[in-house]
Structure 1
Amino acid sequence: MSQPSAPPILDFSPFYREDSQAKADLVEQVRKSCLYNGFFQITGHRVPLELQQRVMNCTKRFFNLPLEEKMKVDKNLNSFNRGYELLRSQMLEIGTGPELKEGFYIGEEIPEDHPYFVQKRLNSGPNQWPPTVEEKEEFERTSMEYYHAVFALAKDVLAVLALTLGVDATYFNPLTDGAVATMRYLHYPAQPKDGDEKLNRGIGAHMDFGAVTLLLQDEVDGLQVLDMPTGQWLDVQPVPGAYVINLGNLFMRMANDKYKSNIHRVINKSGRERYSIPFFFSGNPDYLCKCLPNCREEGEEAKYPPITVEEVVTASYKESYGRAEKYKEEMKSKLEATPTVASVGA
């Protein structure tokens, strides 16, 4: 049996060229990755390295702000998942502590008269921008320039995924038209060297909620993917300019579990600060997720009933954030129930 290897690094540029054989080879490599563990990295895309560097600088500038400044854009000030998220807010892995990361959520600018906002659709509303971040106008401009560049790349990735299923590259246009996506700036403080690794996850072991995720890493490692056949955790080493691509539960559901949404986590044992920018592409909230072409053997039933994008993703959010709140309440109750020891005078 061959040794497991980390997700492959694929050259995505044939998608944009006229070389039909090179494109067919790329499609086959992506198909094999989806069947195995749903993870791969891509280079040769159209997001400029210079833009990636600018947006990573924005990430660091935001998290360098004092806590009271970050809290001015607390995402709990709205109901549509925009703004700052405190350390220890989310808990994706049962049996761990809430996660050692802080975040800043950005999405498409949805004005308050937009139907998505009026109807309270998935993660839809105006962004909250930090008022005192250094070079505020450039921060906002770069953030949205990058958001739209990666949104376009996500559509290209879904076009290749369609080709892996033997359908036209335009198959997912109804999913991508009017799609909702969420970008997160993430900061992982260095984990305590003497801390309990199980309780101090950067992100606990989990599978993503939506259709596809595109992750930009800085130079600090920490991302690990579970190799299901062997049970080993494989490090996903940062590659300058590359995106780590993985399928989410929504896509696996549509693929009738044929393609994988795999378990992954972050443990920052580097002794350094770690920054990353995941881009979670969910899709049009009304898109009906049902079994995709060529994902069932003859006579095989679909494993899941049809369900909308909004229903799938909303339920997953509630579960992970609710788990963190429950854990905190349990810890608070235990502390309140612990008797204090009075000092005894001599």
Structure 2
Amino acid sequence: MAAAVPIIDFSGFYSSDPATRQAVVDQIREQCTINGFFQISGHGVPASLQSNVLHWSKRFFALPDAAKQTCSKDNNTWNRGYEMLRSQILEAGTQPELKEGFYIGADLSTDHPYFVQKKLNSGPNQWPEQGFEGGELEGFKTGTMDYYHATVSLAGDVLRALALSLSLESTFFDAFLDGAVATMRLLHYPVQPPDSDAKLTRGIGAHTDFGAITLLLQDDVDGLQVWDKNTSTWIDVEPVPGAYVVNLGNLMQRWTNEKYVSNLHRVINRSGRERYSVPLFISGNPDYVVECMPSCKEPGEPSKFPPTTVQAAVSSGYAESYGRVQRYKQGLEQTVAAAA
């Protein structure tokens, strides 16, 4: 277990000692070529921000359904707000997933160029209009956004380490991060029914992430599993207090000519307890063109993928996973109609 998804002390990356810093980079490189997953401690995000965002996540999901629906993500087209249970299917052939979520991102005004030009997941945040009492709503906003900004900053440091691991300048990803879209989800996994079909029922189905990297904060309830290609088994990623699970997305795999791995992972909550987690997805500047990194192919070697923009690559992933739910529901309706 520990050998498959190790914990890397990221504080060494901030060291003034080149050997200590390089040791962190080397550990990251090794994991990116194996499973594309690792955990980091010593990252500098205060534990108080982590506990606070989990507190507000639990408080939000405890609201009545009617209150949560006042900020439904169906109210907008830029992926902000509440997502009800069974809204997504990430693994083809499974049932809609046993999770509910709340999408948050950079709070952009409606006159911001990204919003006007309908860029990827860009616009104002949406907050519940009911349910919170007194100053709770402001506490919810502040608690989630303070955490969001701290984790986006950490993601920049992780990408600098990744650049060095690929024999690039540490500043390689700076243009990609300039104006980057980063989306955070508060996630709640209800207790999975003990009699549910394990082959069909998922908290989140087996999938790979769409963007560059993901930083995941888990509570103390397990359920996350990563596919290990060497043993052809699912590996449990046990929660480590304060640590982040870091994984690479499809964009990074494409960018590195498949030198680095965007790996399958899923959540099955058999714990008998409710699970909460907070992933942050780094998509990047929507207009940034991703093409094979210079260090990821030999001279004259062709790239495995044509150049693409962040907007095009990430949008297609969202469209596919949410489209599966619509097709699933249409299939149910046709079955019911045929039986009537």
Write the letter of the residue equivalent to 2:255: M
Write the letter of the residue equivalent to 1:255: T
Structure 1 segment 80-91 matched on structure 2, within 5 A: 80-91=78-89
SS of the counterpart of 1:294? helix
Write the letter of the residue equivalent to 1:56: L
Write the letter of the residue equivalent to 1:323: R
1:342 match: none
- Distance across 2 between alignment mates of 1:69 and 1:199: 30
* TM-score scaled by length of structure 2: 0.97
Q: Deviations over 1:197-234 (max 9, x none)?
A: 12210000000000000000000000000001221000
1:338 match: 339
2:113 match: 115
Q: CA deviation at 1:101?
A: 0.3
If you compute each CA radius of gyration, which structure gives the higher value, 1 or 2?
A: 1
2:57 match: 59
Check if 1:229 corresponds to 2:230.
Answer: yes
Structure 1 segment 177-196 matched on structure 2, within 5 A: 177-196=178-197
Q: CA deviation at 1:25?
A: 0.6
SS of the counterpart of 1:105? strand
Q: CA deviation at 1:45?
A: 0.4
1:9 match: 7
Structure 1 segment 174-253 matched on structure 2, within 5 A: 174-253=175-254
List alignment gaps of at least 5 residues for structure 1.
340-346
2:304 match: 303
- Distance across 2 between alignment mates of 1:11 and 1:275: 24
The percent of aligned pairs where both chains have the same amino acid is 59
CA RMSD of aligned residues (A): 1.1
Q: 1:99 aligns with which of 83, 93, 97?
A: 97
- Distance across 1 between alignment mates of 2:278 and 2:132: 18
Q: CA deviation at 1:133?
A: 2.6
- Distance across 2 between alignment mates of 1:299 and 1:310: 28
List alignment gaps of at least 5 residues for structure 2.
none
Structure 1 segment 42-53 matched on structure 2, within 5 A: 42-53=40-51
Q: CA deviation at 1:299?
A: 3.2
Q: 2:30 aligns with which of 23, 29, 32?
A: 32
Write the letter of the residue equivalent to 2:245: V
Q: CA deviation at 1:5?
A: 3.9
Q: CA deviation at 1:4?
A: 9.0
Q: CA deviation at 1:56?
A: 0.3
Moved over 6 A (4+): none
Question: What is the number of equivalent residue pairs in this alignment?
Answer: 337
Q: Deviations over 1:261-316 (max 9, x none)?
A: 00000000000000000000000001100001211134321001110000000111
1:125 match: 123
